[in-house]
Structure 1
Amino acid sequence: MRGWLLAWECACLLSVAAAQGMPTAAVPASTVATTDFLAEAKRVVNAAAQPGAPWNGPRDGPRAQAGKHIAVVAEDLRNGGIVGVVDGVLEAAKVIGWGVKIFDSAGTPDLRLKMLANALASRPDGMILVGSDARALLPGLRPFAERNIPVVGWHVAAQAGPVPGTPLAMNVATDPVEVARVTALAAIVQSGGHAGVVIFTDSNFRIAQAKADEMAAVVRECSGCTLLDMRDVPISRSQELMPATTRALLAQHGKRWTYALAVNDIYFDYAAPVLTQAGMPNAGMAMLSAGDGSESAFLRIRTGTFQTGTVAEPLNLHGWQLVDEMNRLLAGGGVTGYVVPVHLVTAENITADGGDRLIYDPANGYRDIYRHIWQRP
């Protein structure tokens, strides 16, 4: 769904009308384009907001390679998305029979390579990288490849799947471009095609910048919408920077700013209190996030406190998938490349698929399926 496609659709509709002897001047091309755009946006958003679909991932594979020791290097355990994935890894590791040691980089550049070195020194059978940029950490990852230690990761590159040019055999993630597209389209639908948008991203991570660029592209396609600003705020410094950034944006854009889009819910943890302090009514600003579906995001959506949507990651499921992909590598096989479908959480569907527990946990039986694959009780 791009501008050229909409123009083509408009031309076709007008040509048909003319052939049928109908007056074409009464339907301006811009009106037709806007109507078509919103109709397609609603279709995409409604599909993404449906309850979790049945499992469409792998159903067979190698049995458990028991007794392995796995190092987990986390970008920042203050980030709810990363914590959710690590919790899933720990849950799955207990089932498959592995020991896990966690190394936290605390979102600090100086600690990232150090934690990789410490993980390597622990002599693991495999390493799971959670939330860091694989290409930026290539010097610290090469020694794992040199020692034939398999590596998989979560949100470590701009696309799901293997990460060429790195030791990462698999980047577990939903499709970041589709996540971003659904997020931006949801804002457009909620605004009736008249959103004044500010986007928050972190250019330190390719996956974050890819999401932000796609959201910006979608907003620009909406003729009645305005992309007011894109702010580059490091996720690790969001607590420090977001309050002042939010106040500055309010002062600059005033009532024109009606929608905040972000690559991660954590930005809104520190923006929402500023909006409240500024006397902004909940209906005055809508927040939508292209990941990860944190507890605080679910609470804001449930209570109607600014946030109206999050394209939530199935964090616990992704932890199980990381363990399964690692198990396949340890058994001498290849990864599945499985990508979980995108899911938009809103006030209308928040009680389904784990929402009552403030998480997105698809009710598709994935735990039992992985147990069956691993031949574990």
Structure 2
Amino acid sequence: MLILTTAPVASRAGSTTGYAAPAAGPPAQGGRHVLLIAYDLRNGGISKITRSFLNAAGRLRWQVKVADARSSNEAVREQLLLQATDKDVAGVALIGADSAGFHLELTMLRQMGKTAVGWHAGGNPGPNAELFANVTTDPLAVAQTAVDYAISSSAGAIGAVILTDSHFTIAMRKSAAMKAALLACKRCKVLSVEDVDLSKAAQAIPALVPALARRYGHSWTHTLAINDLYFDNTNFPMHQAGRSDIVNISAGDGSNSAMNRIREGISQQKATVAEPCNQQGWQLADELNRGFARQPPSGFVSRPILVTREKLLAHSRDGDIDDDQAYRQAYLDIWFKKP
């Protein structure tokens, strides 16, 4: 297991949604020790969130230890039990692992007076049974955005295969919402919902694509997935199957590899509904800061970003599409506001 070490808003009155940050909150609670457990740093979204969180934590003068579980729930559990219980650790950030699978461990940490937050660690934004706050866009909004793009960018009948991963509550909510939205469209049909383990997608997808092509033929026009990772390995098997006409759309993530292939127009993936990961890394730090200050979570929910080739070509290649700096200043104003 990889271990890395790095050095260094008013109470909620109701849920808010926007691009930047909450209006107010507690000042910086400096000098804290935090354990960040990444489910798999090979995942683009998880690695981007981790980098953004570390950037924010540095401004808050926290000491952060990063543990990479490499897609192992047992490794997550080991870190929760062995490292998070250390008396110096004040808080835990759980990145990309479903918190429900660690209910006992996270309940124990709460009873010890520690604050736990997560990113994509549950089916909804905000607090849950295990976490002080879970940071994510609204999965239903992400799903609807992906389906709306599929419908608006296609004139004919749509036959969709949906790719999901039952290991994650948020993934199942997204795929269920995509299915419901497609069923509400008169010219749309859901051919199947395929449960494919994200951590094994590279091995599973090359075998799944030709099987789906044989099963559904040209009635298969679109693939909608809960994560870009599925489309890292679809182009070659689709080409081999003679199905370069299929349109692939991701309802989540916005990985660097997906951005590159969409921008260059060399892929059948035409869009991704990206998380504003840079902003969410700072929100994750802010929610943890609120827990340290014994104030309630913010209730803030960031908006997903529909990313197409047109949007990418209009944006600088050098910068992240969600990194407009406004959120950083907004959080710094909260943490270091002048008396």
TM-score between the two structures when normalised by the length of structure 1: 0.80
Q: Distance in 1 between matches of 2:72 and 2:209?
A: 23
Could you say which structure has the higher helix fraction?
Answer: 1
Q: Distance in 1 between matches of 2:161 and 2:319?
A: 26
1:145 partner letter: R
Partner of 1:328: 290
Q: Does 1:375 align with 2:333?
A: no
Q: Does 1:173 align with 2:113?
A: no
Q: Distance in 2 between matches of 1:198 and 1:79?
A: 23
Partner of 2:32: 68
Partner of 1:291: 252
Q: What is the identity percentage for the equivalent residue pairs of Structure 1 and Structure 2?
A: 38
Report matched runs for 1:4-153 at 5 Å. 55=19, 57-123=21-87, 124-153=89-118
Q: Does 1:302 align with 2:263?
A: yes
Residue 73 of structure 1 aligns to a residue whose secondary structure is strand
User: How far does residue 362 in structure 1 lie from its aligned partner after superposition?
Assistant: 4.4
Partner of 2:5: none
Partner of 2:230: 267
Q: Distance in 2 between matches of 1:351 and 1:329?
A: 40
User: How far does residue 121 in structure 1 lie from its aligned partner after superposition?
Assistant: 4.0
Q: Distance in 2 between matches of 1:218 and 1:297?
A: 24
Partner of 1:318: 280
1:306-359 per-position Cα deviation (integer Å, ceiling 9, x unaligned): 111111001111010000111111112111010012221111212456x62474
Structure 1 residues 352 and 84: alpha-carbon distance in aligned structure 2, compared to 1, 3 A threshold = farther
Structure 1 residue runs without a partner (length 5+)? 1-52
Partner of 1:31: none
1:105 partner letter: A
Q: Does 1:342 align with 2:304?
A: yes
Partner of 1:250: 213
Residue 231 of structure 1 aligns to a residue whose secondary structure is strand
1:125-180 per-position Cα deviation (integer Å, ceiling 9, x unaligned): 111111111112112212211211011111111111111x32x0111110001100
Q: Distance in 2 between matches of 1:342 and 1:169?
A: 22
Residue 109 of structure 2 aligns to a residue whose secondary structure is helix
Partner of 2:13: none
User: How far does residue 109 in structure 1 lie from its aligned partner after superposition?
Assistant: 3.0
1:250 partner letter: A
Q: Distance in 1 between matches of 2:52 and 2:298?
A: 18
1:74 partner letter: A
- Tell me, yes or no, if the aligned pair for 1:193 and 1:222 is still in contact at 8 Å: no
1:117 partner letter: L
Structure 1 residues 234 and 54: alpha-carbon distance in aligned structure 2, compared to 1, 3 A threshold = closer
Structure 1 residues 55 and 252: alpha-carbon distance in aligned structure 2, compared to 1, 3 A threshold = closer
Structure 2 residue runs without a partner (length 5+)? 1-16
**Stretches (4+) displaced over 6 A:** none
Could you say which structure has the higher strand fraction?
Answer: 2
User: How far does residue 111 in structure 1 lie from its aligned partner after superposition?
Assistant: 2.0
- Tell me, yes or no, if the aligned pair for 1:293 and 1:359 is still in contact at 8 Å: no
Structure 1 residues 144 and 359: alpha-carbon distance in aligned structure 2, compared to 1, 3 A threshold = same
Q: Distance in 2 between matches of 1:316 and 1:158?
A: 20
Q: Does 1:187 align with 2:150?
A: yes
Q: Does 1:363 align with 2:324?
A: yes
Q: Distance in 2 between matches of 1:376 and 1:103?
A: 32
